[in-house]
Structure 1
Amino acid sequence: MKLAVKTCTLDMPYEEMLDFCAAQKVAALEIGTGNWSGAPHCDLDLLVRDRIARERWYDAMRCRGLELCALNCSGNPLAYEKEMDVTRQTFELAQQLGVKKIVMMSGLPAGCAGDKTPVWITTSWPPETQDILDYQWNEVAIPAWKQIVRMAEDCGIKQIALENHGMQLVYNPETCLRLRDAVGPMVGMNLDPSHLFWMGGDPIEAARVLGEHGAIYHIHGKDSRPERRYWQPNGMLDTKPIDAFAQRAWNYVAVGAGHDAKWWKEFFSVVRMSGYDGAVSLEMEDLTLSMLDGHLASLRVLREALNIE
């Protein structure tokens, strides 16, 4: 597997970010194009419409030996047309660059026709939850995703890797495979351990399940940790914002600050057994560290776990 970085959290100008990644022996980049990313390293409108700007942008990456492993347009295209527009543009840019993999999220519909607010159902009671799920899946998500898959195919995209994130219709292997069964193998999972940890899942077992279906399309190297003082009396469900990290039941942390290199070595071993040998893309969101320190600490653990000198 190769070490990559999702560059959105590297608070540096584009070429400085490229130099940092090359110096850190990063092999590939995952670039955010908009929606929930501020897209600090990609002017999507400019790159789509201006061939010279696009070539200059791409050449700056390639001349440093860096691969563009994926474009990331994570947002909610099932609820907001403007976020579907960014998705369409991202697919167009992927076609222009020859990029074959898109990382995104499934999106989450509203709870019923006429509603505007996305609703994440996480329990089977009260009974109306089942009507909401039926509407979200069968009336909105599956028809919309059939169109998204056709659009991706028209742009030469081979894989859409959906992140198993909370507040999304696809948030674990089971829901990913449900959508994949309905719309085809264009859809697989961006397996991000940090989210499964706080949901009570086991990313190693998730890798085994997804591997049985050939459905691991991307890996995020991202860690999280339960915080005993608040988790044990209250459980893991927590609506406090992530910058209130001193009072939360769980937090995103630098890789290694939640699960050590031994755990990551086992995870990557099982991921390989499960048929994936592509990019592992660091996503660093530990607010207790500076941007630079968090990336350096995480990269050290990932390099050790991936056996990269």
Structure 2
Amino acid sequence: MKLGVFTVLFSDKNLEEMLDHVAAKGIEAVELGTGGYPGDAHLKVDELLADEEKQKEFMEKITSRGLIVSALSCHANPLHPQRKIAEEADALFTKTVKLASKLEIPVVNTFSGCPGDHENAKYPNWPIAAWPNDFQEILTWQWEEKIIPYWKEKAAFAEAHDIKIGLELHGGFSVHTPATMLRLRDACGKALGANLDPSHMWWQGIDPVESIKLLGRENAIHHFHAKDTIIDQPNVNRNGVTDMTSYADMQNRAWYFRTVGFGHDAKVWADMISALRLYGYDYVVSIEHEDGLMSIDEGFTKAISTLNPVMVKESVGDMWWT
């Protein structure tokens, strides 16, 4: 396994500065945004797609520093009911898959998206209650008319380009749990898998180790984010876990993101790393920092310090003791 970072953290640095900085910290892989929510500070997808020489120069800057690219990420909402927003997200996804194929980067990360509740809706509708029955009707319509048709087409497109799609299981989007991930995969094909981020499992009340087992049994983990979460139980008692309190109002939120090791200790992270290896994941653990209590550099450095001792770098091979 390799320790990586989602480089949106360092959008204030140019590509070379960012690569030098993370390589000096011992990072082995970078996850790069191509647009959408992550932005495109370090990669201009249109420029690279149009010029093979620029593609070579770009990859040389990365490989010459002993790094690999774990994924290209274009998180957005391609199912947004406003056509312009959806079309922009879809076009970005298509270009990102094409570029990843040309650069031999195996994974493209994004969100599943979330549709509205009817054809003329203006905003996404994320049903999270089984009753009243209106929500069930909305959910059925979304999956049958929007989610499955879209992702069946995109999974086939990605497979034709030898790319795996890592959908981040994230609240507010239709695929947000192991169950919804496996439902979509069953309907649309094995090019679809999870970009599994344990921080979003914790706040939903899901044990990340168990989510790894559920998805790992189906070989449905394509990428892994390392981000932590703290649960503030008194605020959960007041607000519930579907808390709409601003992320900036951390004292009153039911939960908020922390850097690795500041929500759960190293043993918990060791259990996750071990579960990943147990179920065949031998790829990148990509640090994502969204901690409102410490700077980017401090949070990034502390995440590395927590993860390095528990990373499994070498596979066993034969079990020599049996």
**Both proteins in one fold, TM over 0.5:** yes
Residue 4 of structure 1 aligns to which amino acid in structure 2? G
* Paired letter, 1:240: T
Check 1:243–1:12 CA distance in 2 against 1; reply closer, same or farther (3 A cut): farther
**Quick one: which amino acid aligns to residue 141 of structure 1?**
I
SS at match of 1:96: helix
CA distances 1:83-136 after superposition (whole Å, capped 9, x unpaired): 111101101111221122111111111111211211111111111111111111
Q: Which residue of 1 aligns with 2:319?
A: none
5+ residue gaps, structure 2, are 81-85, 314-322
Q: Distance in 1 between matches of 2:94 and 2:122?
A: 21
* Cα distance in 2 for residues equivalent to 1:171 and 1:153: 22
Q: Deviations along 1:192-245, whole A, 9 cap, x unmatched?
A: 100010011101111111122111111111111112442233322211232222
Picking from 89, 93, 97, the partner of 2:95 is: 89
Q: How many residues align?
A: 307
| Cα distance in 1, alignment partners of residues 147 and 183 from structure 2 | 11
Query: Is the alpha carbon distance of 1:307 and 1:181 closer, same or farther for their aligned partners in structure 2, counting shifts above 3 Å?
Result: closer
Q: Aligned letter for 1:130? A: Q
Superposed CA offset, 1:158-178 (max 9, x none): x11111100111101100000
CA 1:243–1:13: 2 relative to 1, 3 Å: farther
Q: Bigger shift: 179-188 or 96-105?
A: 96-105
Q: Which runs of 4+ in 1 moved over 3 A?
A: none
Is 2:149 the counterpart of 1:143? Answer: yes
Q: Larger deviation: 49-58 or 280-289?
A: 49-58
Given residue 14 of structure 1, which amino acid in structure 2 is its aligned partner? L
Which residue identity does 1:39 align to in structure 2? D
- Paired with 2:162 and 2:221, the residues of 1 have a C-alpha distance of 19
Paired residue type of 1:63: S
Question: Which residue does the alignment assign to 2:303?
Answer: 298
Structure 1 letter corresponding to 2:128? T
Contact 2:274–2:312 (CA<8 Å) still a contact in 1?
no
1:101 paired to 2:110: no
Percentage identity across aligned positions?
Answer: 39
Deviation of the 1:52 alpha carbon: 2.8
**Match of residue 241 from structure 1:** 246
- The answer to whether the aligner puts 1:59 opposite 2:53 as a matched pair is no
The answer as to 2:10 corresponding to 1:4 is: no
Give the letter aligned to residue 131 of structure 2. W
Residues 243 and 52 of structure 1: is their aligned pair in 2 closer, same or farther, counting only changes over 3 Å?
farther
Residue aligning to 2:26: 25
Superposition pairs for residues 242-257 of structure 1, below 5 Å? 242-257=247-262
Q: In the alignment, which residue of structure 1 is the partner of 2:317?
A: none
Instruction: Select 1:212's aligned residue among 204, 209, 217.
Output: 217
**In the alignment, residue 105 of structure 1 is paired with which amino acid?**
F
Aligned equivalent of 1:44:
45
| Cα shift readout 1:37-66 (whole Å, capped 9, x = no counterpart) | 122211122122233332222211110010
Matches for 1:258-269 after TM superposition, within 5 Å: 258-269=263-274
Tell me by how many angstroms 1:76 deviates: 0.8
Counterpart residue type for residue 160 of structure 1 = I
Greater alpha carbon shift after TM alignment, 170-179 vs 266-275:
266-275
Q: Where does residue 126 of structure 1 map in the other structure?
A: 132
- Match of 1:190? 195
Matches within 5 A, 1:270-289: 270-289=275-294
For structure 1, list consecutive stretches of 5 or more residues without a partner in the other structure: none
TM-score between both structures, scaled by the size of structure 2: 0.92
1:111 aligns with one of 112, 117, 139: 117
* Range with greater deviation from structure 2 (183-192 or 147-156): 147-156
Which amino acid letter does the alignment assign opposite residue 97 of structure 2? F
Give 3-state SS (helix, strand or coil) of 1:156's partner: coil
> d(CA) in 2 for partners of 1:153 and 1:263?
34
Would the aligned equivalents of 2:77 and 2:112 in 1 still touch at CA under 8 Å? yes
SS in structure 2 at match of 1:85 = helix
2:260 corresponds to which letter in structure 1?
A: V
Q: For 1:167-182, what aligned pairs fall within 5 Å after superposition?
A: 167-182=172-187
Query: Matched residues in 1 for 2:21 and 2:111: separation?
Result: 28
CA deviation digits over 1:118-155, x for unaligned, max 9?
11111111111111111110111111111111221232
Work out the CA distance in 1 between the residues paired with 2:186 and 2:312. Answer: 35
Structure 1 equivalent of residue 161 of structure 2: 155
